[in-house]
Amino acid sequence: MNQYESHNHIDPDFPIIFHWDTFSSTEYFHSHWHEGVELLFCTQGSGEIIIDSEVYAMNMGDTIIVNSGGLHTIKCLSEENLMYYCLIPSESFC
């Protein structure tokens, strides 16, 4: 299922979404897209990110940039959890 992910930046003085994500190879991450650019920094595990049907490796230490409007999903391919930081600045910030 392809979903639009709406982002609400509640604090205009801090127009950034920042969080840490973790999931295992048994979990499914739905394909989604949003208007903001997304930066991911992988801190553990290995996997792949699929952006607009292109597959890219995602390993510890990698930084991935998903362009605005890019349909994307992530798969964990390692026995250990895939962990990464996610940063999405608002369009007005960029």
Mean pLDDT for the chain overall: 91
Q: Can you say whether the dihedral through the CA atoms of 57, 39, 37, 35 is positive or negative?
A: positive
d(CA 26, CA 76): 8
Report the 10 Å Cβ neighbour count for 17: 17
32-33 and 3-4 as β-strands: parallel, antiparallel, unpaired?
Answer: parallel
| Predicted structure pTM score | 0.88
Confidence at residue 56, expressed as pLDDT on a 0 to 100 scale = 97
Chain-centroid distance of CA 41 in Å reads 9
Confidence at residue 28, expressed as pLDDT on a 0 to 100 scale = 82
3-state helix, strand, coil in the chain (%, to 5): 0, 50, 50
